[in-house]
Structure 1
Amino acid sequence: MGKRISGWWPAAALALLLAGCASGGPAAFVSEDNRGIAYTGDRGVDSQPFPANYRGEILAYLRTYLNNPAGVREGVMAEPVQRTVGGRLRYVSCLRYAARESDGSYRPARERAAIYVDGRFDRLVEDAGELCAGSSYAPFPELASLTR
């Protein structure tokens, strides 16, 4: 005689599984400021390595991030420095540039903050504000040579 499987347990298992996903448990990669998904898993350590390839990583990101990466103007960047981001010590490199708009015009240059976790680029913060206060910028001519 075959065993009868009750119809309630699959629904209960699915409800428990979905509740675990929605809780934002340890497996969720939520950024420190709870604004989105981070690109790297955060081990939560304070001893962060210096991002050795920070310029190359920013260029690679901007090549895909910008609608038209050709013709970026006024590109400057600051060396990475340690700052507290979301209660954790991170390397932050500030940059300022004016990207070409879809109509070919340029808006004034805006300041952004690149945040690094475990020595690798994690995300770009559009409204850098306090993160970039007092940054010392140097020319970043590689931005002007970006192509599609």
Structure 2
Amino acid sequence: MGELAKRASVLMLPLMLAACFGSDGGRPSLVDDAGNPAQQPFPDNFRSEALAIMHSYLNDPVGVRDAAMADPVLRTVGGRPFYVSCLHFTPRESDGSYRGIRERAIVYVNGRADRVIERAGEMCAGAVYAPFPELEKMTR
């Protein structure tokens, strides 16, 4: 490759990367044009999103008991506002036994379940739970 071609490729690399990362597929951005956190949309399908992420989160999704879920509310996660939904449930352990109830928080980004937070303590303080029987009916 000649010297001119090398220089051209070095100059084009930032443009190519910008093109790759600049396309958001029509989804809302996490920041607005001024660099401020963008308003997150309410996760309309939060129950089905929660089921999908919990299905992959739990080692064995069969046999969950005492499942309850709170509707999503805006919480600050990592310095930005995101919708968060809290869960209570008792999973079946690998030996078939049941231990204590677990509390987890599901963070929604752009209306989709993004991650499960295990230490949900303060984030779920004051959450109002309602039965979530769909979590108890999960299969492999």
For Structure 1 versus Structure 2, the TM-score category normalised by the shorter chain is 0.7 to 0.9
Q: Match for residue 88 of structure 1?
A: 80
8 Å CA contact 1:77–1:140 kept in 2: the answer is: yes
Query: Secondary structure of the equivalent of 2:86?
Result: strand
Give the Cα separation in 1 of the matches to 2:76 and 2:54.
24
Instruction: Write the deviation string for residues 112-135 of structure 1: whole angstroms up to 9, x where unpaired.
Output: 100011111110000101100100
Task: Give the length in aligned residue pairs.
Answer: 112
Query: Secondary structure of the equivalent of 2:74?
Result: strand
- 1:64 CA displacement: 2.0
Matched, 1:107 2:94: no
8 Å CA contact 2:30–2:38 kept in 1: the answer is: no
8 Å CA contact 1:42–1:117 kept in 2: the answer is: no
Which sections of structure 1, spanning at least 5 residues, go unmatched? 4-26, 28-40
* Identical columns (%): 59
- 1:107 CA displacement: 1.3
- 1:67 CA displacement: 1.5
Letter paired with 2:56: T
TM-score, with normalisation over the residues of structure 2?
0.74
Matched, 1:43 2:33: no
- 1:42 CA displacement: 6.2
8 Å CA contact 2:63–2:91 kept in 1: the answer is: yes
TM-score, with normalisation over the residues of structure 1?
0.70
Matched, 1:65 2:57: yes
Give the Cα separation in 2 of the matches to 1:49 and 1:42.
11
Q: Match for residue 48 of structure 2?
A: 56
Query: Secondary structure of the equivalent of 1:74?
Result: strand
8 Å CA contact 2:69–2:85 kept in 1: the answer is: yes
Give the Cα separation in 2 of the matches to 1:61 and 1:120.
10
Runs of 4+ in 1 over 4 A off after TM superposition: none
Give the Cα separation in 2 of the matches to 1:43 and 1:58.
21
- 1:84 CA displacement: 1.1
CA RMSD of aligned residues (A): 2.0
